[in-house]
Structure 1
């Protein structure tokens, strides 16, 4: 990757990460409390939903910057013709290298595929707002299908020391939720999670594309 592209990915990723964390932090807090085994009200309800925002924003810049540098570099390194059937695989590998979680494996290939489809339909590369719309759809879908894993993660994080979920076994945590609360338990908080991540995908990926395009254009205009 050339230096302007590297710098643009670094800064754009950081800016996007801060924007989405500042705006969506309260929704994530509400979603976590909905998934709590003690219930929403006992877990805190709507109290203190902005607690921890500053530290989250500070930490999000380097994390998001590192993710997008890695993501863009791996895409460049695994350069594949846009018409190739291997394109989704490339995007999955790039997302895995940036952040090894199932959510990214769903969201980023879908985001890239939606952008490619929209670009093909209108015969030119998508604008930043169109990329943001694709990010919202991709994020919402990924949020829905990975909600059970998110529920398991929340149960493990909130488990009392010495309890079965505290062991960190995801399958065991999923089985425990299924046994006590059934399908509704596995998808607890799915709608606020989808809403938050859809909005997050719109802001995060739209802000990333807009900032990166601006920085690259600025780099081309500089002597």
Structure 2
């Protein structure tokens, strides 16, 4: 749903952009190690060690610092990524309301709005996601983010930084549709907030449930995205994981349907409460702008 729907007056694009940026940085600093564990599990072929085993293995074999490997790209990304997410959701929400001739957001419009926001967001995140995935890989030999960029461009050309664009597009479309669509539904059934603390709690609860729903829907697409971006292209060789839906079928056939949900536990442990933190911080920040 539109992040500003219940506000007495509309806020400018820059307010939604800033609120999303602040929320994104807050979320990534809190939950990043879970993202590293998730990526490691998704890149493993066959049986994995699971959440605890992978986490413990990383700490024992590579040190605690490895849990923050690749933090710089997503940290640089989170501000524009989350800012675009909420600003685009606000923009598309207003646009679809006008097109549909509606005055208030509906369930169907909230899902379509979220999907459009996710599609918009996907174009921003791809190069950052690719750098992050390649740094998080257990077998990574890169010295840092810029080394990934240099080697990728040298071997695959500038467009190599956009490997996985199609899978990233679907990942964000489905997550945002599930996230914002669920937020609309949950907020509709929660008790009306009479105080600011109750409002903040409602935002956290609806955002957390939305984060869970989005994760359930988009995890197979995230697994495929990690596989595509984690594999360097070899000239003249067609990548095993290339396009999203054929790759989903390949993984299901070779590793079983359950493999499409590899990394689900650390992913949902991050994005359920993370989704709550995002909405809470966004709404709180917009409230500050509203009063300013």
Partner of 2:142: none
Distance 2:192 2:201 in 1: 14
Distance 2:118 2:223 in 1: 19
Partner of 2:31: 24
Q: What's the TM-score, normalizing by structure 2?
A: 0.64
Partner of 2:72: 54
Q: Which moved more, 1:178-187 or 1:1-10?
A: 1-10
Name the SS for the 2:43 alignment partner.
Answer: coil
Q: Which moved more, 1:205-214 or 1:61-70?
A: 61-70
CA contact (8 A) 2:208 2:273 kept: yes
Q: What are the equivalent positions in structure 2 for 1:149-160 lying under 5 Å apart?
A: 149-160=221-232
Name the SS for the 1:49 alignment partner.
Answer: helix
Distance 1:51 1:103 in 2: 24
Partner of 1:221: none
The correspondence for 2:279, drawn from 202, 205, 222, is 205
Q: Does 1:128 align with 2:184?
A: no
Inter-CA distance 81–36: structure 2 relative to 1 (3 Å threshold): same
Gap regions ≥5 residues in structure 1: 219-223
Q: What is the root-mean-square deviation in Å for CA atoms of aligned residues? A: 2.5
Partner of 1:144: 216
Partner of 1:93: 112
Q: What are the equivalent positions in structure 2 for 1:56-75 lying under 5 Å apart?
A: 56-75=74-93
Gap regions ≥5 residues in structure 2: 120-172
The runs of at least 4 aligned residues of structure 1 exceeding 6 Å deviation read none
The correspondence for 1:108, drawn from 170, 180, 198, is 180
CA contact (8 A) 1:5 1:216 kept: no
Question: In the TM superposition, what is the alpha-carbon distance from 1:109 to its structure 2 partner?
Answer: 0.9
Inter-CA distance 54–37: structure 2 relative to 1 (3 Å threshold): closer
The correspondence for 1:45, drawn from 55, 58, 65, is 58
CA contact (8 A) 2:118 2:175 kept: no
How big is each residue's C-alpha offset from its partner over 1:163-186, in whole Å with a ceiling of 9 and x where there is no partner?
A: 5434x2112211221122212212
Inter-CA distance 9–146: structure 2 relative to 1 (3 Å threshold): same
Question: In the TM superposition, what is the alpha-carbon distance from 1:102 to its structure 2 partner?
Answer: 1.1
Distance 2:74 2:84 in 1: 16
Question: In the TM superposition, what is the alpha-carbon distance from 1:87 to its structure 2 partner?
Answer: 0.9
Partner of 1:170: 244
CA contact (8 A) 2:193 2:202 kept: no
Name the SS for the 2:281 alignment partner.
Answer: helix
CA contact (8 A) 1:141 1:194 kept: no
Name the SS for the 1:52 alignment partner.
Answer: coil
Inter-CA distance 5–110: structure 2 relative to 1 (3 Å threshold): same
Inter-CA distance 175–95: structure 2 relative to 1 (3 Å threshold): same
Name the SS for the 1:78 alignment partner.
Answer: helix
Distance 1:16 1:113 in 2: 22
Q: Which moved more, 1:54-63 or 1:194-203?
A: 54-63
